[in-house]
Structure 1
Amino acid sequence: MHGSRPEVGQVHSPEALRYRPEIDGLRALAVLPVILFHAGVTFFSGGFVGVDVFFVISGFLITGILYREISAGKFSILNFYERRIRRLFPALFAMLAASSAIGWFILLPDEFAAFGRQILATCLFMSNILFWSEDGYFDAESATKPLLHTWSLAVEEQYYIIFPLLLWLMVRYARSAIRPIVMLGIVGSLVVSELVLHRFPSTAFFMLPTRAWELLIGALVALIPAYSGRYAAVLAWAGVGAILIPVLTFQESMLFPGIAALPPCAGAAAILWASRGTSCAVALSNRGLRFFGLISYSLYLWHWPIIVFLGLKFGMPMSPDLTVVAILLSLAVATASWRFVERPLRKGGGKPFVWSFGGACLTAGMSVAAILIVGNGLPARFTSMQNRMVDLSIREGAAMEAAYRCGAAHKIGIRKKVGVCDVGPGGRPRLVILGDSEAMALKPAFSAALERSDIPARLISKPGCPPLLGLDRVETSRGCAAASAAMAAYVRAVKPAAIILVANWRNVLSAKNTIFAGRTSYDAASRLDNVTRALSRTVAVYRSMGVRIGIVRSLPGATTSVGRAVARSSLAPLHYTLADHRAAFVPLNRAIDALRPDAIVDPADITCRSLCAVTDAAGTPLYWDASHPGAAGNAVLEPMLATLVTKLFNGHTAHAAIGHDDGRS
C-alpha cells in the first residue's frame, strides 16, 4: 500500500538504486482485484488476496531501505516515522474527514458511535484489534463499517513498530544470520497462522502474529541477491499466475489466510525477485497498470467507504449499475486524492512541519472520535420516529442475544455457544425445537403457543448452524456438525414425542458454503445438494427414533435490516416479491415435501401476498434485522406455530402445508 519509491537493488552488491516501474504494475495487480471483489464483481471472488500481495511489497521495499540505512550508519527511527507520516497521513486523514462528513447524513446513531470507535482505533493503528473484537455472530455486518479496511494498515504499522529495531539488532550483532532468522520467522508465523485458523479464524485473519510471515517474505527477498538467470522470465510470469489464479478461483467462504495465502505471496515474491529486465517487467511497466499502481494507496483507502455508503443508501448487494458507479467514483476520488493530497506532502515541507501536521491529524481525528463516542452517535440528527426505529432494532437484537444465556443448566455436550432453553410449561420436554438463530428469534412465539397447548418443550439453538446432521460450515468453522450430532443425542436420550426443525434456509442456500460427506459447496447448486442430502439424513435419523417431525419453511425476511432502512430513509427495496420468494425455494421445498415430514408450515402463507410484508399493520418492523423476527414478527407468526404444534400432537401424519393469509402485503 505504499506509493512509488526507489527500490534497494541487490543488497549484497554495489548496484545503484533505481526506480522499478514494474513494482507499480504489481501494485495494480494487488489493488484492482480488491476493489472489484469488494464491489461484488463475480469473476473476482478471490480478490481479497490483493491485500496479501501488498504486505509482501511493503516488506520488500521498506526492508531494503532500512537495511541500506542501517548498514551505512544513517538509520534514524525519527526519520523513518517522518517518512511514514508523509506517506500515510495525508490521504488517510482526508478519507477520515470525508467519511465523517458523509456519515453525518447516513450513519444511524449507534453506527456513528461505532464509527467514532473506528476512527480512534485507526488513529492508534489498532483497528485490526477493534474489528477482531467485533467479529461475533451478533455484531454489526461488515457492510456497515466504513473503516473496516484500515485493519491492514494497522497490521503494517504494528509490524513497523517492531521490525526496524529487530533489523537494527540483527545487522549490528548477527549480520551473517539475518536471512536464516527471517526464514525462521516466516515459517513460525505461517505455522501459527495455519494452526490458529482452524480454531479461531477471525484471530488468524486480523492479527499481526498470523500475518507477519507475509511481510517477512518481502523482507527476505530484499535481503538476497536478485535473480537474473535463464529462468527469470518464467519465474516472474509464474508469479503473475500465482496471483491471478487465486484472484479468479478463491472464495470468500474459504478459511484464510494460513497456507491458502502462500500462492499469492509467493507469486509477489517471485515477481520482485526475478522480474527485473524480463518480458514480465515490460508488461507490468505498462503505463495503464503503472497508473493504477501509483494511485493504489488512495484507491485502497477510498474505495471501501464509498462502497459502504452507497450500499447503506441504495442496498446491498449492489445492482450492476450501482457497482459501476462505485468503481468509477472510487477511481475518480483516488486519482484526485493521489494528485492533490498524497503528492504535495511526499516531498514538500520540512521536518517540523511534518511532525506538526501529523500531530494535528491525530488530535483532530481523536477529537472527532471522542465527540461521536461520548455523544452516542449524535441522535439529534434524526427525528424521534427514526430514533425509535433504531432503538427497537437494538433492543430486540440485544434481547435475542441475551436469550442464549437461558440454558446454563441444560448442557447437552456442545462446547461452543449454544442456547438450550425451556419453553412452555415446566416438565419433561415432549417437544424439542432444533435450529439456528432463527429458532431462538421465534422463542416468544413458540412459548406462547406451547403455554396454551400445555406442552413442555426445549429449544436448542446454535447461531449460524442449521440443525442438519453431518453438515458443517466452511467459512467460520463453528462446529455445526458436532452441534447437530449433540442435538440428535439429546433427542435420543430424552425421547420427546416430536421435534421441529427451524433454520434460515435463505442464508444456507445463498451465502453459507458447507461441507457434507466430504464435499465442499462452492455455488448455489452444490449448496442445495449438500443441504438436501443433509436434510434427508436428518429426517431419516429422527424418524428412526420414533419422533414426529415438523419443519418451518424459510421466513421471507427482508432485503436488509428493516428498521434501520426506514430510519435511514434508505432507497433500497425492502420487500421480496412473493414470486421471487417462492422461486428461490422451489428445489428445497420439493426436497422437503418428498421427505413427507409430519407437518410443515410456510411463513409466506402468513406474511406474503404479491409482496412479503416487512412491517405489521401498525408499521412496526416484523424483523429486527433482515431475517430475525422481533416482537411484532412473533405476534404475527405465533398462530402459525400454534397450528404446527397442534398438528404434531393431535397425531396427524398427513403431509400438509399449514398457514393462512392475514391480508398483509
Structure 2
Amino acid sequence: MNDSAEQFSDQRGKPDYRPDIDGLRAVAVLGVVIYHAGFGLPGGFIGVDVFFVISGYLITGLILRDLRAGTFSLVSFWERRVRRILPASLFVMTIVLVAGYFLLLPDDYIELAQATIAQLAFCGNIFYWLGTDYFDGPAELKPLLHTWSLAVEEQFYLVVPVLLSGFFATNGRRMWQLLFTLALGSFLTCIVVTPIAPSFAFFLLPSRAWEMLAGSLLALGSNGSEKPITATWASQLAGLAALTSLVAAMCFMQAGSNFPGYLAAIPVACTVVLIQLHRQQATWTYRLLAHPWLVGIGLISYSLYLWHWPLMALTRYVFPSIPGTLMYLPLLASFPIAFASWKWIEMPLRGANLRGTKLFGVAATAMLLPLFVSGWVWLQAGLPERIKEVTIAPPPNLDTLIQKYRTSPVDFDLQELPILGDEQAQPSFLVWGDSHALALAPLIDEIASEHGISARLVARGGHPPLLGCWRPDTAPFQQAETVRWNQNVVDAINQNQWRAVIVIAAWQNYILQTGLENEEPKAEPADSQNQPVDASSPNRQQSAAVLKSQLQVTATAIREPIDIHWLPPAPRQKSNLAQAVRNLALNKWSPQPGAAVTLTEYRQQMTQINAAFTALEASQTRQPNQHHWADLSHCFFDPMGEPILVSGGEFCYVDDNHVSPAGAREYFYEALLAIVNEISLDGVAEQPRR
C-alpha cells in the first residue's frame, strides 16, 4: 500500500498518470479505516486486499520497465523502497513508542516494544501470526497490529525483484508462466490453509502473495499505453459491476476465520477488473475514481493507513468504556495528521538527494532509535516504576495470570496435564473447562494443597466443555477440534476413577456472544418461560436449546458414578472495567470505570443457563452420576444488590469477564472450598492413572 501510487503520484500532469488508481486507493483506505472505527462497514478490511493488488501491479510495472530498458538494479530498487517506506513508518513507530510510555501498562508496553522490533526486521506479520487473531477483540488494543500488511509487502519486495530479474535475464518470454504458477500456488495455499490454520493464511506471505501477483500479471500484460480512450458499453457495465461488487463486499462481507480463503478472490478480482478496464477505457467508474477528492485521499492513503490505527487503538486502550459513536474523534483526527505526515515527511524524503551507501547508512541510523528504545523497554520489563500508588491495585492481564498453567492439547496425555494441589498426592478429581478454568486454577491449586489432595487440569480457551457442540464463529477445523477434545475428556473421565469433576466455563458467553451449535442446527426453541434476553435474536434461543440438550448428552456419556460440579460464571461486564482501573494506576486523569452489571442484568444473563442446569439436576434419577449447580449471585453482589468489584484493595476482574486472583477468592472461594472439603472427607478412591 505504501507504493500503490509510486509510479503516478509524483507524476501528476504527465501522460501516463492514472488518477483512478489514487481514487481506488482512497476506496481501499476508507474501507479499512471505517471498518476499524466500527461504523457499519463489516467488510471494510478487504481494502488491504485492494492495496495488495495495486502494489503488485505498480511495483512489477516499474521493475519490468527498467528490465526492458536495461537499467534495472536491485540496489536502486531497494533504495526507492527505503525512501518511500521507512520515513513515515519509522516516525509513526517512534511516536507510538513515546505515547506508550505515558499510556501503556508494563505488559502491554513490552508487547509494543516486541512488535516494533519485529516490524523493523520486516517480520511484523510473523510476530502477530504467533500470537494474535486479527478479528479478536483484544487485538483492538495493539497499536501496531496494522503493520502486518506492510511486512507482507516488504517481504514481497525482497523476493519478487530477485525472481523477475533473474528469470528475465535467462528466459524473459516465460516470465508470465513463472508469475502465473507462483500466483496459482499461493492461491491454492490460501484456500487449503484458511480452514486449517486461519492465522497463517491471514498474516503470512505464502497465502497472500497471489493477491500481489495478480497485479503483477496485469503489469506483465500491459502494452505500455495508459492513455484513456472512448469506452464501450461492455466496459462501462463491467466497470460498474466491479466497483459495485467491491463496495457491496465491504458492506456485507463478515469478518471471521473463513477469510482470506476463496473470499479474498472477490476484492482481488474487482480490483483487477478496474485496473485493467481503466488502462485504456475512460469509463464512468474511471471518472468517479479520478474525482479530485478521492485522488487527494488516495495520495495520503499510506500515511492515513499508518496513523489511523494507533490513534484508534490507544483511544480504546485509554478509554475502554468509550461509546462506539465517539470513535469518530480518532477517525477524523487521523486525516489532518495523515496530510501533515504526507506533506512534511513522506514527500520531502522521497525526493531527498540520498543514494547508495549514504542512503542505507542514514536509514540504518534512523532505525536504531526505535530499535534501542524498544530493546530498553523490553529489558526493563516495561518500566514498571511508572505505576503510581493507587487505592485499587491494578489486576494482571489474562496472559500473565494463566501463564503458569498449560492449555490442554486436543489429543492430550493425561499424565502430561498440569497438577493442581499437592503434587505428591495422586490426583483425585478433574478440573475441566475453558479459559475461566485457567483463571480459577491458582485458587483451586491453593485450596487443594491445603487439603493435601490434587487434581488434573484440562482446559482450552474458547472451547465449551460439552460433548457434541461447538462455537459457530470458529473455523471448521476448530469446531472439529472442540468436539474431539471434549470426547477425549469424557473418555479420560470414564477410564479413570475420579472422586469428582469440576466444570468451569463462561456459559453466558456461549449464549449471548459466540453462540453454540451441534449437529442439529435447527434446534427447538427454548421453553416459553426461558426466552432469550434479546428475544429478537434467534441464535441465542437456539444456543440455549443446544446447551440444554448437550448437557444431557454429556451427563449420559459419563458412566462413572461421580459428583460433577458445574460452576456458574461471574457476571459478564458491559465493558472492560479492569482496563480502566489499570489506566488509573498509570494516569490519574484516566476516566473512571463505567457502570457494572446489576443484579437484575446478571439474572437476565443467567435465565436460560439456570433453566438448562435445573433441567439437568431434575434428570439425575436417570443418570449414574450426581450433578450439582448452585446460584452464586450472593457472592457477586452484596446484600443490597450492589456489585462487588473490589476485594482486599484489588480489582476483581482482568477484563470484562475473566476474574482476577482477588475476584476468584471473593467470588468462588466458599464454593470451591466446600467442593474440595467434600472430596477430601470422602477419601481417595482407586487412583486415576497418572
Normalised by the size of structure 1, how large is the TM-score?
0.84
Greater displacement, 49-58 / 539-548? 539-548
- CA distance in 2 between counterparts of 1:90 and 1:217 reads 28
Q: Say which of 286, 294, 297 aligns to 2:299.
A: 294
The answer to whether the Cα contact below 8 Å between 2:468 and 2:519 also exists between their aligned partners in 1 is: yes
Say if 1:493 and 1:527 are closer, same or farther in 2 by CA, change over 3 A. Answer: farther
Summarize the Cα distance change of 1:290–1:258 in structure 2 as closer, same or farther, 3 Å threshold.
same
- Whether 2:347 is the aligned partner of 1:343: answer yes
Please give the alpha-carbon distance, in whole angstroms, between the structure 2 residues aligned to 1:418 and 1:507: 29
CA separation of 1:147 and 1:418: change in aligned 2, threshold 3 A:
farther
- Partner of residue 549, structure 2: 537
Q: Partner amino acid for 1:621? A: F
Shift of 1:64: 0.9
Q: Measured at CA, do residues 244 and 403 of structure 1 come closer, stay the same or move farther in structure 2, by a change above 3 Å?
A: same
CA distance, structure 2, for counterparts of residue 367 and residue 423 of structure 1: 43
State the alpha-carbon separation in 2 of the partners of residues 621 and 269 from structure 1: 53
C-alpha distance in structure 2 between counterparts of 1:623 and 1:320, whole Å: 22
1:274 matches 2:259: no
**1:194 Cα shift?**
2.5
**Amino acid in structure 2 at the alignment position of 1:567:** A
Partner of 1:327: 331
Q: Does 1:220 align with 2:217?
A: yes
Change (3 A) 1:204 1:286: same
User: Are the structure 2 counterparts of residues 368 and 19 from structure 1 closer, same or farther at C-alpha, using a change threshold of 3 Å?
Assistant: same
For residue 571 of structure 2, the aligned residue among 534, 553, 556 is: 556
How far does the alpha carbon of each residue in 1:595-617 deviate from its partner, in whole angstroms, 9 at most, with x for none?
A: 4464323444312255533320x
Find the aligned partners of 2:261 and 2:137 in 1 and give their Cα distance: 25
Cα deviation for residue 162 of structure 1 reads 0.9
Q: What is the CA distance between 1:426 and its match in structure 2?
A: 8.5
Match 1:243 to one of 226, 231, 246? 246
* Equivalent pair of 1:418/1:460 in contact (CA under 8 Å): no
- SS of the residue 1:460 aligns to: strand
Give the direction of change, closer, same or farther, for the CA distance of 1:327–1:592 in structure 2 (3 Å limit): farther
Q: Which amino acid aligns with 2:661?
A: A
Q: 2:633 and 2:216 mapped to 1: Cα distance?
A: 57
1:413–1:291 distance in 2 versus 1, CA, 3 Å: same
1:116-137 deviation per Cα after TM superposition (whole angstroms, max 9, x unaligned): 2222222221111222233399
Task: Say if 1:58 and 1:215, in contact at 8 Å, map to a contact too.
Answer: yes
Structure 2: which amino acid aligns with 1:516? N
Residue matched to 1:608: 637
Partner of 1:85: 82
**Residues of 1 paired with 2:294 and 2:642: CA distance?**
47
Deviations 1:404-441 (A, max 9, x none): 27x8xxx9944899956466899887754421021132
Q: Deviations over 1:196-245 (max 9, x none)?
A: 32332222222111111111011111112489765223332232233223
Offset at residue 49 of structure 1 (A)? 1.3
* Cα distance, 1:348 vs structure 2: 4.5
Point out the more displaced range, 479-488 or 577-586.
Answer: 577-586
The match for 2:260 among 248, 257, 268 is 257
In the alignment, structure 1 residue 96 sits paired with structure 2 residue 88: no
One-letter code of the match for 1:505? W
Letter in 2 for 1:582: R
Matches of 2:415 and 2:537 in 1, distance apart?
A: 30
Contact 2:571-2:597 within 8 A present in 1 as well:
no
Deviation digits for residues 529-580 of structure 1 (CA, Å, limit 9, x no counterpart): 4532332232212332466654323312553245634423442625522144
In structure 2, the CA distance between the partners of 1:340 and 1:590, relative to structure 1 (3 Å rule), is farther
The alpha-carbon distance between structure 1 residues 385 and 299, as it changes in their structure 2 partners (threshold 3 A), is same
Gap change, CA 1:310 and 1:422, over 3 Å in 2: closer
Take 1:429 and 1:589, find their aligned partners in 2: how far apart are those partners?
30
- 1:59, distance to aligned residue in structure 2 (A): 0.3
CA distance in 2, matches of 1:378, 1:431: 41
Deviation at 1:336, TM superposition (A): 2.1
CA contact (8 A) 1:599 1:648 kept: no
CA–CA separation in structure 1 for the residues paired with 2:381 and 2:519: 48
1:468 pairs with 2:466:
yes
Deviation per CA, 1:331-390: give whole Å up to 9, x if none.
22112222232222333545377555423322322232233223333333333669x956
Query: 1:633 Cα deviation (Å)?
Result: 2.3
Distance in 2 separating the partners of 1:418 and 1:210: 34
Q: Which amino acid aligns with 2:603?
A: R
The answer to whether the 8 A contact 2:470-2:483 is kept is: yes
Deviations 1:71-118 (A, max 9, x none): 111112232222222322232122123212221210122322322222
Alignment correspondent of 1:619: 649
C-alpha separation in 2, matches of 1:412 and 1:118: 29
Partner of 2:662: 632
The TM-score, its normalising length taken from structure 2, stands at 0.81
Indicate the residue corresponding to 2:63 in structure 1: 66
Q: Amino acid of the residue matched to residue 470 of structure 2?
A: D
Distance 1:608 1:288, change over 3 A: farther
Q: Describe the SS at the equivalent of 2:537.
A: helix
Report the count of equivalent residues: 632
Give the letter for the 2:164 counterpart.
L
- Counterpart selection for 1:438 from 420, 436, 439: 436
Is the contact made by 1:3 and 1:87 (CA closer than 8 Å) also made in structure 2? no
Deviates more, 1:64-73 or 1:112-121: 112-121
Q: Is the 8 A contact 2:511 2:544 kept in 1?
A: no
Query: Which letter does structure 2 place at the counterpart of 1:325?
Result: L
Matched, 1:380 2:385: yes
Q: Letter of the aligned partner of 1:481 in structure 2?
A: V
Q: Is the 8 A contact 1:552 1:602 kept in 2?
A: no
Q: Deviations over 1:480-523 (max 9, x none)?
A: 121122222333334657644321234434553665327599x9
Kept in 2, the 8 Å contact 1:557–1:614? The answer is no
Corresponding letter in the other structure for 2:634: D
1:656 match: none
Q: 2:498 and 2:382 mapped to 1: Cα distance?
A: 49
Q: 1:165-564 maps to which residues of 2 (within 5 A)?
A: 165-225=162-222, 231-275=234-278, 276-315=281-320, 318-351=322-355, 354-355=359-360, 357-383=362-388, 389=393, 393=396, 397-398=399-400, 400-404=402-406, 413-414=411-412, 419=417, 421=419, 432-446=430-444, 458-473=456-471, 474-475=473-474, 477-478=477-478, 479-494=481-496, 499-512=501-514, 515-517=517-519, 519=521, 525=537, 527-529=539-541, 531-544=543-556, 545=558, 549-556=564-571, 558=573, 559-560=575-576, 561=578, 564=582
Query: Which residue identity is paired with 2:338?
Result: A
After alignment, is 190-199 or 472-481 more displaced? 472-481
Q: Rate the CA distance shift 1:379–1:167 in 2: closer, same or farther, 3 A.
A: same
Tell me which residue corresponds to 1:661: none
Distance in 2 of aligned mates of 1:274 and 1:423 = 69
- Relative distance call for 1:593 and 1:566 in structure 2 (3 A) is farther
1:518 & 1:194 partners in 2: Cα distance?
A: 27
In the alignment, the residues of structure 2 paired with residue 393 and residue 368 of structure 1 have an alpha-carbon distance, to the nearest angstrom, of 24
CA distance in 2, matches of 1:515, 1:330: 41
1:127 to 124, 130, 143: 124
Q: Which amino acid aligns with 2:540?
A: L
Per the alignment, residue 582 of structure 1 pairs with: 603
Cα 1:248/1:621, change in 2 over 3 Å:
same
Distance 1:382 1:632, change over 3 A: closer
Q: Cα offset for 1:65?
A: 1.2
Gaps of 5+ in 2: 524-533, 619-626, 683-690
Give the residue type in structure 1 aligned to 2:286.
A
